[in-house]
Structure 1
Amino acid sequence: MLLLKLIARVPLPLLHSFGILFGWLVYLAPGRHAQRMRDNLSASGLCRPGTECRRLLRQTIGESGKAVVELLPVWLRPHEGVLRLVRDTRDWEHIDAALAAGRGVILIAPHLGCFEIINLYYAARHPFTAMYKPPRQPMLARLMLMGRQRGQATLVPTDLSGVRALLAALKRHEAIGILPDQVATGGDGVWAPFFGRPAYTPTLVASLQRKTGAAAFFVAAERLSWGRGYRLHVTPVGDTLPDDKTAAALRINQGVEAFVRRFPAQYMWSYNRYKRPGGAPPPDATT
């Protein structure tokens, strides 16, 4: 742990340089990681086959490595030092206005850029609740818990008790965090298009919003070049999400797509977003 804390203090530009190398090492290693990244990128329609897609793939490989190594400074540096890595925010005033109006806030943060820093930035100012599923490796679980549960952040289990905790936080006019682009568990999602392909999408955001009247926002932490830090971007969801689960999931996926189109190389393309979880109906079934 001491060694990891020392590495966490290495300047971010140097860490990101190492991250590019690490990204290539992972990409070239045996396994499904590289093929899934290539398949998801090529199917997204964000680049033309040939030189353009190869260029985007190279950028994505480097950014994926940065995403791993930057976890050390984000989780293990003193909280004040982590907050200094946020160089700028765009449209954060929409969140402040919702809080001033006495509404709960749902932060919808996809797997893009340094999404881990969003919770820490918010929790330094206001109470914040998010779900937490410990990884199987005990050391990584300790690191994750240490890194995420700082400031006014509270982590809750990814089960019914955790959903109740999120609901209670919103009723107290506090904020919660949701990862919108995880594959939902069977029975807890619906199929909705994501870059033109059916993806099993969680329905939790719409359900919580209907029950509490909370304001929902897409938030992304752009990774700035040359290790300069991060810029947070906020986009209001707008009107309350539709009652229809599939229509609501489509709105969520479209909001995630909009951020990915802005920062395509910083999205986690290696994630198996299109898998069918156990208990889920086939994509062509009526949901």
Structure 2
Amino acid sequence: MPVVFRFFSVFPLWLLHVMGAAMGWVVFAVSPVYRKRLVENARRAGYRFGEVRAAVGHAGRMVAELPRLWLGAPLPSRMTGEACVEQAYAAGRGIVFLTPHQGCFELSAQVAARRWSAARGPITVLYRPARQAWLASVMETARNRPGMLAVPTTLSGVRQMIKALRRGEAVGLLPDQVPPDGQGVWSPFFGRDAYTMTLAVRLAQQTGAAVVLARCERLPWGRGFVTHFEPLPVPLDERLESAVLQINQAMEHLIRQCPQQYLWGYARYKQPRAEAAAGVTE
């Protein structure tokens, strides 16, 4: 399977996106569970299927571009709103980058690393290792690239993120990912309670890091990507539940800027699975 990944990593982006869009619609057609969840999640946020139907193809594009993203040449990209990142670094603060499952969310960390890691240190990103040994190996190799350090969702990984923030470096998370039981709280997300991680809030509160919102928008016809940065509108509340709600509202804000590229088929409202907790105590 790694050979297949390397084979597709040299394909032009436009061709990967064409194949990915077709794959996305095939999955949508043959999986009634996925289809129902996508439509219901979008409706809960106030969108008719016709308004977000492009999300079906974009979900496939996200998968198809992974070989190029992980193993191929750098993808064409530009950024907007980078002034808020510069200001946080200039103030000597660490940065917690938060991005939803939208567009090419993995590229946002690569873009930030290429821009700032040489002068400001690497960006530490949290990831959940794949269960398949071959995929876990590919992911570890791909995500540990120049300017980026990938750490697993374990207590050791969380400690590395805390240390990075205290050194004035940056970390990256996807706060709309459902955490294991004991690592989150129930908080409204598009009008329905969703089990939401507390890690992002705890990292920022315990280290004094700035919170920067990021979303990576996929341009049409394989022309590349645009990563948008913006600051959190108001400082995080000192109360954990209120701060988690702020993060959820911030993710809603980003998603509404380009709902056609959000993964509406993600099981955002599922029950958390049981797993050893990775608490933040340092």
Name the TM-score, length of structure 1 as normaliser: 0.89
Q: In the aligned structure 2, how far is the partner of 1:266 from the partner of 1:151?
A: 27
The answer to whether the 8 A contact 1:209-1:240 is kept is no
**SS of 1:192's equivalent?**
strand
- Residue of structure 2 equivalent to 1:60: 55
The answer to whether the 8 A contact 1:123-1:150 is kept is no
Give, in angstroms, the shift of residue 155 of structure 1.
1.6
* Pairing 1:12-161 to 2, within 5 Å after superposition: 12-30=13-31, 32-47=33-48, 53-57=49-53, 59-78=54-73, 81-82=74-75, 85-86=76-77, 88-124=78-114, 125-126=116-117, 127-161=122-156
Letter in 1 for 2:243: A
* Pairing 1:245-284 to 2, within 5 Å after superposition: 245-278=240-273
Name the TM-score, length of structure 2 as normaliser: 0.90
Residue deviations 1:56-76 (CA, integer Å, cap 9, x gap): 22x111111101101111111
Q: In the aligned structure 1, how far is the partner of 2:137 from the partner of 2:113?
A: 19
Q: In the aligned structure 2, how far is the partner of 1:250 from the partner of 1:244?
A: 10
Letter in 1 for 2:65: E
Residue deviations 1:89-108 (CA, integer Å, cap 9, x gap): 11011101211221101100
The RMSD of aligned alpha carbons is: 1.7
Letter in 1 for 2:270: K
The answer to whether the 8 A contact 1:216-1:238 is kept is no
The answer to whether the 8 A contact 2:144-2:150 is kept is yes
Give, in angstroms, the shift of residue 26 of structure 1.
1.3
Structure-2 change in CA distance of 1:16 and 1:190 (3 Å):
same
Letter in 2 for 1:54: G
Structure 1, gaps ≥5 residues long: 48-52, 281-287
Aligned residues: 269
The answer to whether the 8 A contact 2:51-2:260 is kept is no
Structure 2, gaps ≥5 residues long: 276-282
> Structure 1 residue 175 and structure 2 residue 193: aligned?
no
- Residue of structure 2 equivalent to 1:220: 215
